[in-house]
Structure 1
Amino acid sequence: MSTAASYLSAVSEADARARAHGGTPNSTPALSLSSSLTGSSEDTVLDDTGADVVDALLYPRVPPTSEQVFTTVHTEFGHCANEKYRFTSQHRAGTPYKSNPEQDPPYYIVLTTYLSYLMVICLGHLRDFIGKRMRPSRYKHLMAQNGYAALNSDFDSFYTRRLKTRIDDCFSHPVTGVPGRTIVLLDRYSPDYNVTMIPTGTRTRALNISSYNYLGFAQGKGACADAVEESVIRYGVCAGGTRLEGGTLDLHLQAEALVARFIGMEDALISSMGFATNSTIIPALVTKGCLVVSDEYNHASIRYGVRLSGASVRMFKHNDMQSLETLLREVISQGQPKTHRPWKKILLIVEGLYSMEGTLVNLPVVMELKKKYKFYLFIDEAHSIGALGPHGRGVADYFGINPRSIDILMGTFTKSFGAAGGYIAGNKALVDRLRLRGHSGTYAEAMAPPVLTQVIASMSSIMGVTIPVEKSSSPALPLLRASSVDTHVSEFEPECAYPGTAPVSALPVWMPLAPTLVDGSDGQMRLRRLAFNTRYLNRGLRKLGFITYGHDDSPVVPLLLFGPGKMAVFSRMMRTRATPIVIVVVAYPATPLVLSRVRFCLSAAHTKEDVDMVLTACDEIGDFLDLKHGAGERWPLQEIIDRAVELVNMPEAP
């Protein structure tokens, strides 16, 4: 809204309309069927383009009560007061870890998938052959001319031109606004088979199951947003605050100290880009004469960093501990190539949660191998930090393992924390060395103050904040003391305990402290809601008969589609439903050629009704596209919805 008065007026009008409905909701209402926004209306907190849109989509149907306080609009974060829809993400002690077994589809599915690619490839080559002779002007960039070589390789660009272009409407869709529980799509169409896209000028609000917004911190309202707003006022774009040498602010030091405390390590180093954290730090860890043992499904940033380092690299089968141990025995016994001298250093690099597969690293077995073979361990927790474990501290928290028994923990702030950048955590001597030798600290730009504030605020809301007896400089102190809330206490054993709360001295003195941020209740609620949504969708899809990969507690749920044509149709059918659903489809080269899939990304911002909607859509589209080829017991859709709590709390199959 342009002014505070207009905002309050809109709130009052929406409140009056909502009271006419009566009743008190326990959760955010489901998205309305009238979910399209047309014209040039602004995507504000209360978009008054029509009563139906305001009531059903942008504001709760009835106003909050004293027992139910909504601090955000429900398009960004769905509100759910039902405590049954909660779960704690934690591995059961004494039980071996295992992911859901990968299932093979029927032979006719594999055969038709290969035939589909064969047909598209043959037709593509035929079109290239004819087109270069009939319409050479369209192929100038692929043919040598005037003594110049072709600008692009004909062979290298074939997949993009002849396969990906056919389904380009499923990728890179322009959006606007906050990528929270819902997201607003800018509608477009193509008059030339996806070669160009033309905006229509209209917008569509859709349920967002495509963003890495695991804890729902992608919000324009709430405690974190208030803290970020205050930092912009105080620091501006690039100046202000207590500036240290090298472009470092006091906020950088506070953020690094808080990250180290959150992770459970001695020290941490933050970087302004997650990809660069891996690609610039790994060369500072290993060099020529060292060996990197890498999981075959490790992220591109890890592969790039290893190439830059000059170290030798050997890969083992994805999450296969027997393959890993066999490889370790071989490389240790053989030593360096040619000379057979012992390796200077052996570094095992794995990911905590593999975002394309939905699998977790088998950390208990890895730790046993570490004790036996004496290698260094580097874990990339880009997707697992904040999303796994009873305290949100990643895979070490999930498995109940002391984080300091791991040499290096890397993670990003772009997923669970709603910010940007990444971190490296370890012992102080190691981190101090990386500050000098890592390229990210020397050549990269420092993180901006608003981003740092978002990191600090979101981590604090998970940890909770310890308020001292006297802190007169905090204007919110009387309110915080009046809330009479208990601080979060770690349930870990002393030898692997995480610091329970963040001392208020570790936070900026000017940062506003909401009661829910101080007591950690907001963060714990988000962690438990994410765990419930994750298990519900994972298990619900399998009960419907779909083939899915990964672990029940993974917030990324890959559903196998196989055929390239089915991938495009699945995405379009989800997006064009009465209540549109935005998803991510993934194909070669990100996956093996015949293992195309859709990845659902769950969030704490989603309600149980949102997951019901996704299951309903998958059930209908799965029947239409013949996607239900999974083994095991099947339940009808309504039974899955009715028995959701029971389904989530079922123990894992032996």
Structure 2
Amino acid sequence: MTQPSSVFDDSDVADGTGLIIPLQPPSSAQVFHTVHSEFGHCDNQLQRHTSRHPLGVPLERTEEQDPPYYILITTYLSFVFFICLGHLRDFLGKRWNPELYSHLIPSDGYAAFSSDFDSFYTRRLKSRLDDCFSRPVTGVPGRTIILLDRVSPDYNATFHLTGKHIRGLNVSSYNYLGFAQTQGGCADAVETSIGRYGLSSMGGRMEGGTTDLHVQAEALVSRFVGHEDSIIGSMGFATNSTTIPALVGKGSLVISDEYNHASIRYGVRVSGAQVRMFKHNNMEDLENLLREVISQGQPKTHRPWKKILLVVEGLYSMEGTLVNLPAVVALKQKYKFYLYVDEAHSIGALGPHGRGVCDYFGVNPRSIDILMGTFTKSFGAAGGYIAGPKPLIAALRIRTHAGSYAEAMSPVVLTQVIASMGSIMGVADSPKHLEVSSSASTSTIQANGLRDGSEGRERLRRLAFNVRYLSRGLKKLGFITYGHEDSPVIPMLLFNPGKMLLFSRLMLEWKVPIVVVVVAYPATPLVTSRVRFCLSASHVKTDVDMLLRACDEIGDLLDLKHGHVKERWTVDKIIDNALQIAKDASFS
């Protein structure tokens, strides 16, 4: 079976694991558009599921289990030890080797560049774990990923590449639907687009940077999410951080979930609006806060707020939890505030049609004032969008800095957005629905069979099966996991910072290398360090089986199984009952 390579020949990477060639060859009746290492071959239609919340059933709050006390105590002691040792090394180092600490010691009347706790934490704690972070990769971040092997001769101060490559199972990328590919209809559309548009618009949207692809993409996005109009930007972080200041200002109030993303926090801070936070996904706390701020008004003067904007995320990527959207919408109707939903991680990954949390819960998207999302996850592209009523979007085109000053999104990226989103919607055969002229990208999408939406639906159902199988399987093994079982991000708790490094390294050195992402403070609370498994439609059941076996083996070694479950299952029993685990609504 001849297979293309992105950078080097696949024979350079050890095989025999099923990462290159499927362990179970696909049937001859199937036609595949990608190599197995990018998008796994799976012709078993039983390994599919539909992501949907039952209508009329309240969303239960996910229980966050606590580990035994000895785990918490040893975790705190580890941080105390690291902090004390770090301060001792700084104290002695500034006196015995001052040239190495010149950036921390004020001189010639200048303040030190970095002397706060963030600097200390980075140098003395994070540096010990740097082998886990920023690993260089090459090739496609699909079902598998290729790491460039590196070593550090000076305790993680510097790293040097060895020249070796490691192909591993990729559970670390946001490629939820597997559209980040070098083959297939989307890739062909992008290739065609380069010949017509080049690589850049070479200007801002309000100057000469708006192409017909921008107009087409915005029409497609608004149709996809179910709103009147939309505006797109070239950076996801900037979509939040530049739009929020254009919506609110002095005299306005922003109510924010305590776990909202840094881009939201930054945008609120820049806006000058007052901000109040409520407990994560706690509707009782939110309603109590609403009553307080509406009745009391602005500080000191007690005048009514000019406007109140509630900002929540559809899917919280560090927790894996879903916003209780039906309850939030009910509060909106009762208290009359504006609602802003960030769907960076949920758009494309949730719902029977992949249209985010509104689709998942069966909520009318027009009941939400502002829908924000990004193209960097499910669509395999870059940038973000804001969707809402036409008058609001028209004002944002002028008021938001991302629209006025930022470089227009690249035509190549726009084509990837149009192709991937169009393949989910199944509207590529009817460009007239988009109310824009036909383009090279549209004709290429038609030529590659993405017009009926079958490929998009297949990817959605594969993703839904994979995430439920892994989430429930980890719980049955005895691990503590956070989040909703339909979330493509599955956090598994490690607690002790030393176990982060060991878990990441042991997964990479397992008989089939597995590439994972570990997360610690300040991205998470101090004692809840975790690994985040990001699954994709490109994975197959054997990949999840492999991941469960690795977690079972390493979890026993590192003492990670502290979850409360009625009956723990062996990993073999979980694998044998995968269909029941993933599909049975009452399974627990």
TM range (shorter): over 0.9
Instruction: Verify the 8 A CA contact 1:465 1:503 in the aligned structure 2.
Output: no
Give me the whole-angstrom Cα distance separating, in 2, the residues matched to 1:426 and 1:299: 21
CA-CA distance at 1:54 after TM superposition: 9.3
| Distance change in 2, residues 1:578/1:337 (3 Å) | same
Q: Partner amino acid for 2:465?
A: F
Alignment deviations for residues 203-229 of structure 1 (CA, whole Å, 9 cap, x no partner): 111110000000001101100000000
Tell whether the 8 Å contact from 2:26 to 2:41 is kept in structure 1 after alignment. no
Match of 1:559 among 477, 492, 499: 492
User: What residue identity is the alignment partner of 1:640?
Assistant: I
What aligned pairs does 1:379-458 form with structure 2 within 5 A after superposition?
379-458=341-420
Please list, as runs of the form range in 1=range in 2, the aligned pairs for 1:515-526 lying within 5 A after superposition. 516-526=449-459
- Match in the other structure for 1:97: 59
2:143 equivalent among 181, 187, 199: 181
Which residue of the partner structure matches residue 650 of structure 1? 584
Q: Which of 582, 588, 593 is matched with 2:515 structurally?
A: 582
Mapped to 2, the partners of 1:317 and 1:145 lie a distance apart of 44
Q: State the 1:65 CA deviation.
A: 5.3
> Matches of 1:101 and 1:223 in 2, distance apart?
41
Match of 1:24 in 2: none
CA distance in 2, matches of 1:370, 1:652: 31
Q: Please tell me the residue identity of whatever aligns with 1:649.
A: K
Q: Work out whether residues 48 and 54 of structure 1, in 8 Å CA contact, stay in contact via their aligned partners in 2.
A: no
Contact 1:46 1:59 in 2 (8 A): no
> Cα gap change, 1:634/1:322 in structure 2, threshold over 3 Å: closer, same or farther?
same
Matched with 2:444 is 511
| Residue 125 (structure 1) shift | 1.1
One-letter amino acid matched to 2:216: Q
With over 3 angstroms needed to count, the CA separation of the structure-2 counterparts of 1:537 and 1:509, relative to structure 1, is closer
Q: Secondary structure at the match of 2:275?
A: strand
Instruction: Give the structure 1 partner of residue 218 of structure 2.
Output: 256
Q: Deviations over 1:366-423 (max 9, x none)?
A: 1110110000100000000000000000000000011011100000000000000000
Deviation at 1:335, TM superposition (A): 0.4
SS at match of 1:141: coil
Indicate if the aligned counterparts of 1:390 and 1:398 stay in contact, CA closer than 8 A: yes
After superposition, the Cα gap between the structure-2 partners of 1:287 and 1:605, relative to the gap in structure 1 and judged at 3 Å, is same
2:219·2:434 contact (CA, 8 Å) conserved in 1?
Answer: no
Residue identity in the other structure for 2:149: D
- The residue aligned with 1:532 is 465
The answer to whether the 8 Å contact 1:354/1:383 transfers is yes
* Alignment pair present for 1:159 and 2:121: yes
Aligned to 2:173, the other structure's residue is in SS state: coil
Q: Secondary structure at the match of 2:54?
A: coil
Q: Which has the larger radius of gyration?
A: 1
Asked whether the equivalents of residues 183 and 206 of structure 1 are also in contact (C-alpha less than 8 Å), the reply is yes
Residue aligning to 1:47: 10
| Structure 2 match to 1:208 | 170
Cα drift, residue 148 of structure 1: 3.4
The alignment partner of 1:195 has SS state of coil
**Contact kept? 1:47, 1:54, Cα under 8 Å:** no
TM-score by length of structure 1 reads: 0.86
Contact 1:571/1:583 (8 A) holds in 2: yes
Equivalence for 2:319: 357
Query: In structure 1, how many angstroms separate the alpha carbons of the residues matched to 2:17 and 2:136?
Result: 26
In structure 1, how many angstroms separate the alpha carbons of the residues matched to 2:84 and 2:233? 46
**Residue-by-residue CA offset, 1:472-531 (whole Å, 9 max, x unaligned):** xxxxxxxxxxxxxxxxxxxxxxxxxxx9x8789666554342454111111000000000
Q: Residue in 1 aligned with 2:44?
A: 82
Structure 2: how far apart are the matches of 1:289 and 1:239?
Answer: 38
After TM superposition, the structure 1 = structure 2 runs for residues 126-165 of structure 1, keeping only pairs within 5 Å, are 126-153=88-115, 155-165=117-127
Structure 1 unaligned spans of 5+: 1-10, 16-40, 472-498
Q: Is the 8 A contact 2:345 2:377 kept in 1?
A: yes
CA RMSD of aligned residues (A): 2.3
Q: Secondary structure at the match of 2:70?
A: helix
How many angstroms apart in 1 are the aligned matches of 2:388 and 2:217? 15
Shift, 1:424, TM fit: 0.2
> Is the contact made by 1:467 and 1:504 (CA closer than 8 Å) also made in structure 2?
no
Three-state SS of the structure 2 residue aligned to 1:547 is coil
In 2: Cα distance, 1:517 partner to 1:45 partner:
30
Deviates more, 1:636-645 or 1:150-159: 150-159
Correspondences of 1:182-197 after superposition (within 5 Å)? 182-197=144-159
In 2 relative to 1, CA 55–565 (structure 1 residues): closer, same or farther, beyond 3 Å?
closer
Are 1:459 and 2:392 matched, yes or no? no
CA positional deviation for 1:145: 2.9
Letter of the 1:173 partner, please give it.
R
Q: Using the TM superposition, name which of 93-102 and 641-650 deviates more.
A: 93-102
Tell me the percent identity.
Answer: 69
* Residue in structure 2 matched with residue 636 of structure 1 by the alignment: 570
Structure 2: distance between partners of 1:214 and 1:62: 23
CA separation of 1:438 and 1:529: change in aligned 2, threshold 3 A: same
Residue 541, structure 1, aligned to residue 474, structure 2? yes
Q: Quick one: distance in 2 between partners of 1:439 and 1:412? A: 17
User: In the alignment, is the contact (CA less than 8 A) between 2:206 and 2:404 conserved in 1?
Assistant: no
Match of 2:284 in 1: 322
Instruction: From the superposition, tell whether residues 597 and 49 of structure 1 become closer, same or farther in structure 2 (CA, over 3 Å).
Output: closer
Question: Is the Cα–Cα contact under 8 Å of residues 6 and 140 in structure 2 kept in the other structure?
Answer: no
2:530 to 572, 597, 604: 597
Q: TM-score, normalised by structure 2?
A: 0.95
Going from structure 1 to structure 2, the CA distance change for 1:49 and 1:357 (only over 3 Å counts) comes to: closer
List gaps (5 residues or longer) in structure 2: none
Given that 2:201 and 2:209 are in contact with CA atoms closer than 8 Å, whether structure 1 keeps it comes out as no
Q: Which range moves more in the overlay, 508-517 or 369-378?
A: 508-517
The 10-residue stretch of structure 1 (512-521 or 326-335) with the greater mean CA deviation from structure 2: 512-521
SS at match of 1:465: coil
